Amino acid sequence: MKAALFRRFGGPEVLEVADLPDPHPGPGQVRIAVRAAGVNASDWKKRAGQMDEQLPQTLGYEAAGVVDEVGEGVTDVSVGDPVFGFDTEGAAQAELAVLSFYAPVPPSLDFAGAAALPAVTETAMRALDQLGVAEGHTLLVNGASGSVGSSAVQFAVARGARVIGTASPANHDYLRSLGAEPVAYGDGMAARVRALRPEGVDLALDVAGSGVLPELVDLAGGPQHVLTVADFTGAQRHGVRFSRGDSGRAVHVLGEIGALIEAGRFALPVGRTFPLGDIAEAQRAGESGGVRGKIVLLVG
């Protein structure tokens, strides 16, 4: 099969599409003929040598496609079913991928839309689970208009929380459409939040990593009420919890997201698509930060 990989660390120019042996599913896993695979910041961090030391490395933790082989014990899907989910080995940007966690593609989505979901929605759901966001809470989301932030907003609203979200003024109407109350980030952000809720907020989630953890701690009444997925150093400095994938994944989101999508209560836009062979251009677009919505590779 054809798969994206790199044999040395460096810029996007080290990426290539090469032939690799076909993978096969183990117990409880399924193999899919990949139709689309998501692109994430972890991809270029891996490529730059910031994560794993071994070489060569494949890429991609999320994909959508058609089941073409099932592992021992799999009874909930069959060959020919469209599914999306996680490739825990990080080899989803390929013609074939083995998914360890998966769910049916929501009827209203195409493969690109489904492939965009797993990493972003798991990150957002994990953060809300770990914060304990529930009905009646007021949650502040710092960086609410990006893919993870907007997912967190929608999940929190679905739980019955009041959500205040920071974003640039150009994105305020978008946040309102998701059910959040927008405030501008930057100097004076805390005062703008208190104008909406003078006593501060119950919980705060940082997905932007923009150095505002002290303000979030003050607004939420202590570091125990704040979580970041983007500022590891700041979390250590201010006693805030940092959430990462190895702290317990919220894979239950795969089985729950379809109902929210079909009910019109969740949407995640695909920003740009690229063919698998243009993997280098896809990563350049992602690193530039100029794409709103997820970047997705189309396969086959």
pLDDT at residue 289, as a whole number: 79
Burial 35-73, CB ≥16 within 10 A → b, else e: bbbbbbebbbebbeeeeeeeeebbbbbbbbbbbebbbee
198, two tokens? 């003078």
Beta-carbon contacts of 19 under 8 Å, excluding residues fewer than 6 positions away, are 1, 2, 3
In total, the chain counts a number of residues equal to 300
Please, what is the average pLDDT of the chain? 95
267 pLDDT tier (thresholds 50, 70, 90)? very high
Q: Which residue has the tokens 């999306």?
A: 84
Q: What is the mean pLDDT of the segment spanning 128-132?
A: 97
Q: Where are the alpha helices (DSSP H) in 70-206?
A: 111-115, 118-131, 147-158, 172-178, 189-196
Question: Given a cut of 70, is residue 85 above it in pLDDT?
Answer: yes
Q: Which residue has the tokens 């983007």?
A: 230
154 and 120 Cβ atoms separated by less than 8 Å: no
In this structure, the dihedral spanned by the alpha carbons of residues 249, 114, 280 and 43, taken in order and rounded to 10 degrees, is 0
pLDDT at residue 226, as a whole number: 98
pLDDT at residue 247, as a whole number: 61
What percent of the chain stands above pLDDT 70? 99
Question: Given a cut of 90, is residue 221 above it in pLDDT?
Answer: yes
d(CA 2, CA 171): 39
pLDDT digits (tens, 9 = 90+) for 145-161: 999 999 999 999 999 99
E strand map for the chain: 2-6, 15-19, 30-39, 57-58, 62-70, 82-86, 96-99, 101-104, 138-142, 162-167, 181-184, 203-206, 226-228, 241-242, 270-275, 294-298
Q: What is the mean pLDDT of the segment spanning 34-55?
A: 92
- Domains along the chain? 2-117+268-298 (3.90.180.10), 121-247 (3.40.50.720)
293 pLDDT tier (thresholds 50, 70, 90)? confident
6 pLDDT tier (thresholds 50, 70, 90)? very high
112 pLDDT tier (thresholds 50, 70, 90)? very high
What percent of the chain stands above pLDDT 90? 91
pLDDT at residue 52, as a whole number: 84
93 pLDDT tier (thresholds 50, 70, 90)? very high
Question: Given a cut of 90, is residue 210 above it in pLDDT?
Answer: no
Q: Which amino acid is at 185?
A: Y
First to last CA, the chain: 11
pTM: 0.94
Burial of 241 from C-beta contacts in 10 A (0-12 / 13-18 / 19+): middle
Question: Given a cut of 80, is residue 245 above it in pLDDT?
Answer: no
pLDDT at residue 291, as a whole number: 80
88, two tokens? 């825990």
3-class DSSP state of 14: helix
